[in-house]
Amino acid sequence: METIQHSLEQAFTKAIHAAFGVAADPLITVSATPQFGDYQSNAAMGLSKRLAAGGTKTSPRQIAEQVIANLDLGKMVDAPLGTRDIAGPGFINIRLSPSWLAGRLDEISRDPRLGVPRASAAIRTVVDYSGPNVAKQMHVGHLRSTIIGDAISRVIEHLHGAENVIRQNHIGDWGTQFGMLIAHLRHGTGNSPSVEGASVTPESHIADLEEFYRQAKKRFDEDAAFQDEARKTVVRLQSGEPAERDAWQKIVLETRRDYQPIYLRLNVKLREEDERGESFYNPFLADVVNHLKQKGLAVESEGATVVFVDGPDKPPMIIEKTGGGYLYATTDLAGVRYRIQELHAKHLIYTHDSRQANHFRQVFDTARKAGWAGNDVQLDYTPFGTMLGADGKPFKTRSGDTVKLKDLLDEAEERGYQIAKEKSGSRGTDISDEQLKAIGRAIGIGAIKYSDLSKDRTSDYVFSWEKMLSMDGNTAPYLQYAYARTRSIQRKAGKTDSPPAGINLTQPAELILAKHILRFGEAIEIVARDLKPHLLCLYLYDLATKFSGFFENCPVIQSEEPIRASRLALCDVTARTLAQGLDLLGIEHPEQM
RNA sequence: GCACUCGUAGCUCAAUUGGAUAGAGCAUCGGUCUUCGGAACCGAGGGUUGCAGGUUCGAGUCCUGCCGAGUGCGCCA
């Protein structure tokens, strides 16, 4: 099923071509205010200029007139457009027919995809996100990448099919820090992590490793001889020495036990098979460097092998260190090549924080010049800002430490549980404690994810429990509540034997809600185009708000048939759209709250 | 020093590849309703979109300069 916007685009493109013999984007957008109708075409002004450049001077309004004279919108409108639909400098306003909208909504109510079209040509996409580090617990620094990357993946899956989206968890399981860690392990400190002790719980393992990491780092920073030893150890590890590899593997396994449960709690789809850590690319790195050398892109400089991406006078990208050893630029280059050549991806997306902007710009630029990423491959870096505390500084614990993700999720679930308990108590309903905990999880985890996803990812955002758990405004609980209300109405209405006789839109609030439901596909397409989940949040918030308006003004259960059936159907499509939207964000939606 | 990102109402955030009169929530103030889930509704005030130019029929959005905040910048990732 096509979106309304796309149908209008086709009709207008045809009309423009018929009138002027040119192909032009009709620039169809949703109208800002109802007085200008539902959609508008903004093409006439630009077209006037374009035709003037070709020697034909025509005013935008005249152009608009000729466009609508050639326009056939069929039953989408009650009457063909006329001069009264041309406004301002040459906007063409389109007011859709209520009966056509009702018929359309009827179709969508029977469509499992709710009017969201599949991509016309499926494109295989790799999404790189999360990327926790070995020997460390996940902390809030990983949160945004993990949930934004997952939401982007889900949306693209919905359009291009799950088989065309490959998640890649580029974990930090390789690199210089392992030289430090292994060297520190070998020298012994009296505080070595008990990486072999089966009697030790996974949690305490990780806690030990973190302390161990701190000690190793301290020693590395203070002791020049130790630094040298660490560098040599990395080289031995990277050339596959068994002793080093053994120590390394133990550390990796311990870390994995920490982050997989976190993904499950976050309702994030990353699994162990999505893992392609830095170590995975180890066998390809020498070849990557050789290839770049052969292409003349990589050169020796001050003992290292580098690519002067920005010219000889600017700091280069280092791909091999003095004395051997590769860096994360080399690994990412190998990743680009692997994803294109082996995974056959045509679209690579990297969801990492904005501090990596320069890094990815250099990697992409080099991958293009090296010939790995051709013109048929799209490379996207989708950066995001920092999570801030109420004080406007990076989010930390009161003592100034980074917040562990596990602790954050514990608190979210507890706060969600308290809300669920309080609300159910005030309503006097009978819900088991187990159910309350499940609802509390949905609320708490949903709130954390939604408060992040609902903001434009490029800017920093302020973390606030109070705001994200509010029942008012653009929050997860508000949307979850709206969903629960739709389901509550349906439950109260009981089973209706007769299938809905069709949807009728008579009240303004019904029409407003219906029009918005019909835009779901457009919203999803925009999210996929801009890779910005907050636009989906915005759509869902508007949907919930418009449902609320409908709910206030249009009695459902108390209405007479056939209005009752029509409104129940409206509730049902609303519910399913909310549910589908929240699913695409990876946020749960309990049947009752 | 160079580069990138950002600057919108008191606060937190929107504004569909440049479109018409810049919108929500919170907070503030005023009002309404014997409720299909009060976790309600209606209304008001609040803006020179950091500043100054420029491009355009049209700029919060694009360009230049300045101010302010953040981030990155040869052997960590």
Asked whether the beta carbons of A468 and A448 are under 8 A apart, the reply is yes
Tell me the two tokens of residue A157. 């899956």
Tell me the CA–C1' distance in angstroms for A472 and B30. 21
Residue type at position A73: L
Across the strands, what pairs with A166?
A: A126
CA torsion through residues A201, A202, A206, A207, sign: negative
* Contact (Cβ atoms closer than 8 angstroms) between residue A210 and residue A224: no
Tokens 């050398």 belong to A293
Supply angle C-alpha A437, A438, A442, rounded to 5. Answer: 115
Q: How many CA atoms lie within 13 A of A532 on its CB side?
A: 14
Which bases on strand B have an atom closer than 7 Å to a protein beta carbon?
A: 2-7, 12-17, 19-21, 24-26, 36-37, 39-42, 57-58, 70-77
Name the pairing type of β-strands A125-128 and A165-168: parallel
Q: What is the distance between the alpha carbons of residues A111 and A534, in angstroms, rounded to a whole number? A: 25
Asked if the model's pLDDT at residue A386 lies above 50, the reply is: yes
A497: CB within 7 A of chain B nucleic strand: no
Q: Per-residue confidence at A484, pLDDT binned at 50, 70, 90?
A: very high
ipTM: 0.95
**A371 CA, B56 C1': Å apart:** 39
C-alpha A14/C-alpha A21 separation (Å) is: 9
Q: Is the CB of A290 under 7 A from strand B?
A: no
Q: What is the DSSP-derived secondary structure letter of residue A556?
A: S
Cα–Cα nearest to A338, from A382, A287, A290:
A287
Bigger pLDDT: A368 or A215? A368
Instruction: Name the nt closest to A393 by C-alpha to C1'.
Output: B70
Pairing of strands A165-168, A387-388: unpaired
Q: Which stretches of A364-465 are assigned E, i.e. beta strand? A: 378-381, 387-388, 461-462
Contact between A326 and A320 (Cβ < 8 Å): yes
pLDDT at residue A517, rounded to an integer: 96
> Distance between terminal CA atoms of chain A?
34
Q: Of residues 451 to 470 in chain A, which lie within 7 A of strand B by their beta carbon?
A: 454-456, 458-462, 464, 467, 470
- A133: helix, strand or coil: strand
CB A77 within 8 A of CB A94: yes
Cα pseudo-dihedral A440, A444, A445, A449, rounded to 10 = 150
Q: Which residues pair with A91 in a beta bridge?
A: A87
Residues 6 or more apart from A481 whose CB is under 8 A from it? Answer: A471, A593
> Who's near A562: CB < 8 A, 6+ residues apart?
A501, A502, A504
Label residue A122 by pLDDT band (50, 70, 90). very high
A423 Cβ within 7 A of any nucleic strand B atom: yes
- Which nucleotide lies at the shortest CA–C1' distance from A234? B76
**pLDDT grade for A558, boundaries at 50, 70 and 90:** confident
- Average pLDDT in the A326-331 region? 94
Q: What is the pLDDT of residues A407-458, one digit of tens each?
A: 999 999 999 999 998 887 766 667 888 999 999 999 999 999 999 999 999 9
- Range with the lowest mean pLDDT among A243-247, A403-407, A588-592? A243-247
Q: For residue A97, name the pLDDT band (cuts at 50, 70, 90).
A: very high
Q: Which domains does chain A have, with CATH numbers?
A: 4-96 (3.30.1360.70), 176-269 (no CATH)
Instruction: Please state whether strand B lies within 7 Å of residue A22 at its CB atom.
Output: no
The reply to whether the CB atom of residue A34 sits less than 7 A from any atom in nucleic acid chain B is no
pLDDT at A235: 81
Higher pLDDT, A231 or A289: A289
Residues whose CB falls within 8 Å of the CB of residue A177, separated by 6 or more in sequence, listed in order: A135, A213
- Give the pLDDT of residue A55: 83
Beginning with the edge strand found earlier in the chain, give each strand of the sheet holding A91-94 in spatial order. Answer: A28-30, A39-41, A91-94, A86-87
Task: Report if CB A311 to strand B is under 7 Å.
Answer: no
DSSP A19-56: HHS------EEE-SSGGG-SEEE-HHHHHHHHHHHTT-
A418 touches strand B (CB under 7 A): no
Between CA A97 and C1' B29 the distance (Å) reads 41
What are A151-201's pLDDT values in tens digits? 999 999 999 999 999 999 999 998 778 888 888 777 654 333 334 333 334
Q: What is the C-alpha to C-alpha distance for residues A64 and A70, in angstroms, rounded to an integer?
A: 10
Tell me what pLDDT residue A183 has: 82
Mean pLDDT of all residues belonging to chain A: 90
The span from the CA of A543 to the CA of A537, in Å, is: 10
Distance A419 CA to B17 C1' (A): 42
Question: Which structure tokens are listed for A215?
Answer: 């000690």
Q: Which SS3 state, helix, strand or coil, does residue A582 take? A: helix
